Structure 1
Amino acid sequence: MKRLLYFFVCFGLLIFWSSCRNDFEFSPSTGNLEFARDTVYLDTVFNNIGSSTYNLKVYNRSDEDIVIPTIQLERGINSFYRLNVDGGTGDEGTPQEGKIFENVELLANDSLFIFIETTIDISTQPSMDNEFLYTDRILFDAGSNQQDVDLVTLVRDAVFIYPDFQGNSTVFENLNFDVDGDGIVDETSLPGRFLDNTELNFTNEKPYVIYGYAATPEGETLTIEAGARLHFHADSGLLITNNSTLNINGTASADQDLLENEVIIEGDRLEPIFSDVPGQWGTIYLFNGSTNNSINYATIKNATIGILVEGNDDAPTDKLTITNSQIYNTSSFGILGRATSITAENVVINNSGQSSFAGTVGGKYNFTHCTIANYWNNSFRQFPALLLNDFTQVDESTIGTNPLTEANFNNCIIYGNDNPEFILDQQGTDFNFKFTNCLLRFDNQNLEGSENYIFSDATFYENNIFNEDPDFKAPFDNLMNIGEDSGANGIGANPFASQVPFDLLGTSRTAMPDAGAYESVVLDD
């Protein structure tokens, strides 16, 4: 009996309490919403390439639960923006989806998120040039209660280079070419296509956005003019094939922030959050058999491997000559050479997931007034800033060797946030190298004094400075200028400075040149 009485009392209290609640009684919005910002700037996007997702927080500061009659884009269903309101896209399957939302509820002293994306077709704006602002507004309610938040996006037109598709699928075709030099076309797993003759000159008129690997036909030259901008999608890059050549012809820039005359090569996401993210695209692949490749005044960033150079170490001319250039934020290697020949002057390489420069399987390498640094801090790295070896693993039980004909580092800085920052891994009998007037980081008691690390042997080491602070401006941000307190100051040799008389910024090298790609300056605090 007591249990039954207790049940009725509780049931009565529950009914009374429920009748007093107004949780589900929503009042119409009165135009007093507050917003985290009054304008949402969606960073620059390319024509027909989707943006990142941005958000806007909307607040109900009142003590009333409210309903917002409409949240919509001012351009309505024709807008290039898309909205998601607190996880919902509106009327799915209708033209209003992502554009118009009705009767949106918002509790007292609560907030909601609106997520915003865009994909803009520049062809619908015939009066616009290669770059224009696209705008719209998010309207909240109507009439006297209407409030709004502006949306602004800068859109750039570009030259788009796509591979062909496989039949009617959405899968790109792979490149087919003679990989092993036997005269037979081989199938590869690289998505891409060969450039036609009208595409072998990249200008600075519009940026280039490349999907897959843009490959040079055999015997052709790809020329990239000063001021050109190349943007690669994920798993994309350049492939310079047999008997073909790449010439990147950047020139010095007056504005070191704009780099207006340099050739800049990076990923295709323009938002600031992607500006320093490694591994966004593949590589510039100078394939075995390509010849006389040259790169001058280029900035290459955010690749998996900045430049992959392969083969031709016995050719009469260098496979690659790279000058006045910077390579940053590669998830694997800045420059990876395999049995090849490279000459580098005034080159800066930094922030690589493995080595900034690796000369592997022997070859021939000459670096003068270069800064080979590695201040990678995204993960553990296995290799030093500089790696040289003369072998390859043929199979589980066989190692094949190839002579390291020469590897000369003159007036260079080789440094980083690990120790040691150079490793010389010899397996064969022909292993030739020399460091002259360099600032080097090497403090390893287990290796020092062993073969290839006898620093008193002038055959291999001459006038070097070890483990002195290079005084980089901000190495984790790729600002590799050196200050007046740098251990590289005044240690360069004049014959090499005469070979490269100006630093990367055009500063004349004095009678007492500094090591590295930059002459020292008074650094800003």
Structure 2
Amino acid sequence: MKRLLSFSLCFGILLFWSSCRNDFEFTPSKGNLEFAQDTIYLDTVFTNIGSSTYNLKVYNRSDDDIVIPTIQFENGVNSLYRMNIDGNTGLEDAQEGKFFEDVELLANDSLFIFIETTIDISTLGALENQFLYTDKILFDSGNNQQDIDVVTLVKDAVFIYPSKDDTTGIVETLSFDVDGDGTPDETTLEGRFLTDDELTFTNEKPYVIYGYAGVGSGKTLTMEAGARVHFHADSGIIVTDNASLQINGALSTDQETLENEVILEGDRLEPLYEDIPGQWGTIWLYNGSENNTINYATIKNATIGVLSEGNQNAPTDKLTITNTQIYNVSSFGILGRATSIRAENLVINNAGQSSFAGTYGGKYNVTHSTIANYWNSSFREYPALLINDYILDENNTIFTNDLTEANFNNCIIYGNDNPEFILENEGDVFNYKFTNCLLRFNDNNLQGNGNYNFDDTAFYIDNVFNENPDFEDPYESLMKIGEDSSAKGIGSATYSNLVLNDILGASRIDSGSFDAGAYNFSTFED
């Protein structure tokens, strides 16, 4: 009986308490909503590529539970934007994501509106390669109406992508001579070969590549000054047997816009993705490709910036790379395998493994370059510079190949780890030399032994060790040297006469100061 009485009493109190509440009594909104911002800027998108999701927070600062009669786009069902309000997509059919009725908002509470867009620039009647698309989100109507502007810049682009079977969903893959026997081999690499009319990338529109764009045998892909190339995830360029890549950028007058450089990066244009490594694959100079040149390019946010394989004994270098920056790669900035690379005024920084790796032997001649690594996103196993002459197979069997040359002249090799260069040899031919460089190496367990006898002038001449390079801001990949840099004046005139101007076009000879690295300090003096 006591239990029944106790339950009845509690039930009566609960019933009385709930009858006094007005939680479910919503009054119409009176136009007093507050917003986290007055304009939603959806960052630049390419035509027909969906944007990221952006949000708007809406506040009810009053003590009343309110209902917002309508939330809709000013352009109605024709709007190219779509909304989701706290997980709801609104009315079905054509108005889904466009029109919402009777949206409830509790007193002193808030709700989130999520906004996205996918825009086909051709439907806008745009005459230019970019178009500013705008709309408004309308809250209520009449005298109570409030609105928020929504703005997106849409860019037109040239899209290069493999075909896809609509029935099976199978994506086209590349077939080419993988093993060098003269017969094409099927691969699992999604992509297609560029047609003849696609082999010149101009600066008229950006290029967006899905999968790997292949350069076929005997063909040359040319990128003209000012070209912009964007890669989707797991995409890149592969240059096959007897094919060539020519990136012909030029010195820019504006170091912010780099108007004349060729820029290769991911296809997400939002600021959030500006410096995220590993957004796309690599520029793959496959074994048998030849006479590849890269001049005045910026390569960023790849997995491997440039992968160069084979051809170490060809009459001309497989890759000549000059006046080029490679930043924010999740693995290697440049990875060479039994190949030949000549580099001048090259800057590499921020790599998840090594900035420059010459592996399985090869031939490397690097002059007036800055090879740095200030990666701080995860543990880094390898130094900024890695040179070796071997590979291991799956059974840990060692295969060696001659390192015929590895010469680093007037360079900076530095980073936030120590040591920042490693030389590993298993074979008999292992030729290397560092001349007039600023180097970071302070390892008592290695120094003085084997490849690290810094007093041996057959391998080390006039280098400076473990002194401050005084980079402008290496964690932001600003690699100019400052007034206190120990790279100032340590270069040899012999090599400066081979690379007369620094990466910004300033004369090393006229300055009278032969600074190590790609940047001459006198460039920045008032």
Q: TM-score scaled to structure 2, two decimals?
A: 0.98
Residue of structure 2 in register with 1:409 after alignment? 408
Q: Is the 8 A contact 1:484 1:521 kept in 2?
A: no
Q: Does 1:298 align with 2:293?
A: no
Give, in angstroms, the shift of residue 164 of structure 1. 1.4
Distance 1:123 1:55 in 2: 27
Residue of structure 1 in register with 2:423 after alignment? 424
Residue of structure 1 in register with 2:255 after alignment? 256
Residue of structure 2 in register with 1:69 after alignment? 69
Within a 5 Å distance, the mapping from 1:318-333 to structure 2 comes to 318-333=317-332
Distance 2:278 2:190 in 1: 17
Distance 1:188 1:61 in 2: 61
Residue of structure 2 in register with 1:516 after alignment? 517
Aligned to 2:259, what secondary structure does the other structure show? coil
Aligned to 2:451, what secondary structure does the other structure show? coil
Aligned to 1:134, what secondary structure does the other structure show? strand
1:14 partner letter: L
> Where do 5+ consecutive residues of structure 2 fail to align?
none
Change (3 A) 1:461 1:8: same
Distance 1:493 1:8 in 2: 97
Q: TM-score scaled to structure 1, two decimals?
A: 0.98
User: Percent identity over the alignment?
Assistant: 70
Range with greater deviation from structure 2 (268-277 or 165-174): 165-174
Residue of structure 2 in register with 1:181 after alignment? 180
Residue of structure 2 in register with 1:90 after alignment? 90
Distance 2:226 2:2 in 1: 90
Give, in angstroms, the shift of residue 78 of structure 1. 1.4
Aligned to 2:487, what secondary structure does the other structure show? coil
Distance 2:212 2:33 in 1: 49
Aligned to 2:153, what secondary structure does the other structure show? strand
Change (3 A) 1:522 1:325: closer
Aligned to 1:139, what secondary structure does the other structure show? strand
Residue of structure 1 in register with 2:273 after alignment? 274
Distance 1:466 1:127 in 2: 57
Give, in angstroms, the shift of residue 202 of structure 1. 0.5
Residue of structure 2 in register with 1:30 after alignment? 30
Distance 1:322 1:362 in 2: 19
List per-residue Cα deviations over 1:200-222 (Å, max 9, x = no partner): 01100000000000001110111
1:501 partner letter: L
Distance 1:205 1:292 in 2: 26
Give, in angstroms, the shift of residue 521 of structure 1. 5.2
2:519 partner letter: Y
2:38 partner letter: D
Aligned to 1:149, what secondary structure does the other structure show? strand
List per-residue Cα deviations over 1:457-493 (Å, max 9, x = no partner): 0000000000001000000101000001001010000
Q: Is the 8 A contact 1:483 1:522 kept in 2?
A: no
Q: Does 1:11 align with 2:11?
A: yes
Distance 1:352 1:395 in 2: 25
Give, in angstroms, the shift of residue 354 of structure 1. 0.2
Residue of structure 2 in register with 1:49 after alignment? 49
Give, in angstroms, the shift of residue 143 of structure 1. 0.9
Give, in angstroms, the shift of residue 450 of structure 1. 1.1
Q: Is the 8 A contact 2:506 2:523 kept in 1?
A: no
2:76 partner letter: G
Distance 2:454 2:477 in 1: 29
Give, in angstroms, the shift of residue 74 of structure 1. 1.2
Q: Is the 8 A contact 1:483 1:521 kept in 2?
A: no
Q: Is the 8 A contact 1:392 1:401 kept in 2?
A: yes
Change (3 A) 1:7 1:414: same
Give, in angstroms, the shift of residue 183 of structure 1. 1.4
Distance 1:21 1:328 in 2: 60
Aligned to 1:30, what secondary structure does the other structure show? coil
Give, in angstroms, the shift of residue 433 of structure 1. 0.2
Residue of structure 2 in register with 1:446 after alignment? 445
Aligned to 2:303, what secondary structure does the other structure show? strand
Count the aligned residue pairs.
523
Distance 1:402 1:57 in 2: 61
Residue of structure 1 in register with 2:207 after alignment? 208
Give, in angstroms, the shift of residue 397 of structure 1. 4.7
1:52 partner letter: S
Aligned to 1:459, what secondary structure does the other structure show? coil
Distance 1:123 1:348 in 2: 39
Give, in angstroms, the shift of residue 170 of structure 1. 3.6
Residue of structure 1 in register with 2:387 after alignment? 388
2:66 partner letter: I
Q: Does 1:287 align with 2:262?
A: no
Q: Is the 8 A contact 2:212 2:236 kept in 1?
A: yes
Distance 1:451 1:300 in 2: 35
Give, in angstroms, the shift of residue 522 of structure 1. 8.9
Aligned to 1:254, what secondary structure does the other structure show? coil
1:26 partner letter: F
Residue of structure 2 in register with 1:194 after alignment? 193
Distance 2:394 2:68 in 1: 68
Q: Is the 8 A contact 2:388 2:423 kept in 1?
A: yes
Q: Is the 8 A contact 1:296 1:323 kept in 2?
A: yes
Distance 2:426 2:446 in 1: 16
2:288 partner letter: G
Q: Is the 8 A contact 1:233 1:280 kept in 2?
A: yes
1:512 partner letter: S
Range with greater deviation from structure 2 (121-130 or 331-340): 121-130
Distance 1:127 1:380 in 2: 48
Give, in angstroms, the shift of residue 395 of structure 1. 4.4
Aligned to 1:452, what secondary structure does the other structure show? helix
List per-residue Cα deviations over 1:296-327 (Å, max 9, x = no partner): 00000000000000000010100000000000
Give the CA RMSD over aligned residues: 1.2
Q: Is the 8 A contact 2:298 2:326 kept in 1?
A: yes
Aligned to 2:282, what secondary structure does the other structure show? strand
Aligned to 2:393, what secondary structure does the other structure show? strand
Distance 1:349 1:199 in 2: 29
Give, in angstroms, the shift of residue 167 of structure 1. 5.5
Give, in angstroms, the shift of residue 523 of structure 1. 7.3
Distance 1:323 1:413 in 2: 16
Distance 1:454 1:7 in 2: 89
Q: Is the 8 A contact 2:46 2:155 kept in 1?
A: yes
Give, in angstroms, the shift of residue 17 of structure 1. 1.1
Distance 1:180 1:216 in 2: 17
Residue of structure 2 in register with 1:315 after alignment? 314
Change (3 A) 1:397 1:373: closer
Give, in angstroms, the shift of residue 416 of structure 1. 0.2
Give, in angstroms, the shift of residue 16 of structure 1. 1.3
Aligned to 2:31, what secondary structure does the other structure show? coil
1:429 partner letter: D
Give, in angstroms, the shift of residue 91 of structure 1. 2.9
Give, in angstroms, the shift of residue 125 of structure 1. 1.2
Give, in angstroms, the shift of residue 169 of structure 1. 3.7
Distance 2:3 2:451 in 1: 91
Aligned to 2:521, what secondary structure does the other structure show? coil
Residue of structure 2 in register with 1:111 after alignment? 110
